[in-house]
Amino acid sequence: MSTTAEPDREDDAETRRERLTRLFGGGWIFLLLIFLIALFAALRPMQFGSAYNLSQLTINAAILLVLSIGQTFVIVTAGIDLAIGAVLVFASVLSAKTMLWLAGAAGTTFGTTDASWLVIGIGSLVAVAAGMAWGAVSGWLVAVARIPALIVTLGTFGMALGLAQIITGGVDVRAMPERLVIHVGAGSIAGVPTLVVIAVVVTAGAAVVLHLTRFGTRVFAIGSNAEAARRAGINVRAYVIAIYMISGALAGVGAVMSNARFSTTTIGGHGMDNLTTISAVVLGGTSLFGGVGSIAGTVIGVFIPIILLNGFVILGIPPFWQTVAMGAVLIVAVWVDQLKRRAQERG
């Protein structure tokens, strides 16, 4: 009796460890995050642990987290979205132009405009719709035209960024609704920055969809084996298009957040968002080969570069070293992922 009970307990314990490992991005990256927090808190407790610094850390992570959530869905299906930053720029420009037009202000207006919440709501919907449209284009080209995702999203990256520059003449729209800037960009809800609240809501919703719904189960199935998923009756093409639309829609949400925070479009400020989000997602334990990943892991992966840069600045280390450190950590993360896959194949 005891001999059968002991293996059962061992199997249950192993299952729990596997679940925790998947949830927290492979375990070691979670420990790395804790180590970085403890290190900078010990070296500069007054600066790093201050309420202002912690608030800035979460605000800096908010937009990147929203973009990385969309990238997570894509990479779980063994895809990639290099256009995510350019789509954000295009959506932010289209949204800002729409709000200026509805408010009756010229496109070159500096400062803030007295646009109503209705105008802001319409502008936000325009941003999300623009992002979804680009996602639909990318998804269709990947799923139906069978063009590699790397090539497709590299192409849509150039198209979205180029159209944004054509619309604006290469000059940022430097006027935003005052209510958007004050209440969203610099505002707070129950003491929590509004941008952080938005990121938390998006993260919670994405976690439910990816981990607790049939849609999420099928996303993982497509990433694990697309052909097997197709034979099981899953409409793989429709799901891939939907996944890229989710990524585009979240880029639109990020565009609204960016406009609110900076009170201007930032045409030249998102060129590295694609690589940054990919790094964050992979650091969080999502496999580039698809079929493995978690939203919680992505959250951890997002905070690694944010805390590194913040800690380096506080310590007076040139921020260029953050790029070196992130590159090294990313290579190690991919290497560990490959080692795990080889071990599974042997097992």
pLDDT tens digit sequence for 185-211: 999 999 999 999 999 999 999 999 999
Token digits for 249? 């829609």
pLDDT at 18: 52
pLDDT above 70 for 301: yes
> pLDDT of 70-112, one tens digit each?
999 999 999 999 999 999 999 999 999 999 999 876 555 566 7
Q: What would the mean pLDDT of 242-252 be, rounded to a whole number? A: 97
Judge whether 120 lies within some domain: yes
Is 244's pLDDT higher than 90? yes
Regarding predicted confidence, which is higher, 106 or 265? 265
Report, as an integer, the average pLDDT of 253-271: 92
Q: Does 183 fall in a domain?
A: yes
pLDDT for residue 10: 54
Domain encompassing residue 153: 54-269
Position 142 in a domain: yes
Query: What pLDDT is stored for residue 324 in this prediction?
Result: 84
Residue 211: inside a domain, yes or no? yes
Q: Is residue 344 part of a domain?
A: no
**Could you give the number of structural domains in the chain?**
1
What's the predicted TM-score (pTM) here? Answer: 0.88
- Examine residue 116 and state whether it is found in any structural domain, yes or no: yes
- Tell me whether residue 60 is in a domain: yes
pLDDT tens sequence across 303-335 = 988 898 888 888 888 877 877 877 787 787 778
User: How high is the mean pLDDT of the chain?
Assistant: 88
Q: In whole angstroms, what is the distance from residue 17 CA to residue 35 CA?
A: 21
Residue 123 resides in a domain:
yes
Whether 340 shows a pLDDT value over 90: the answer reads no
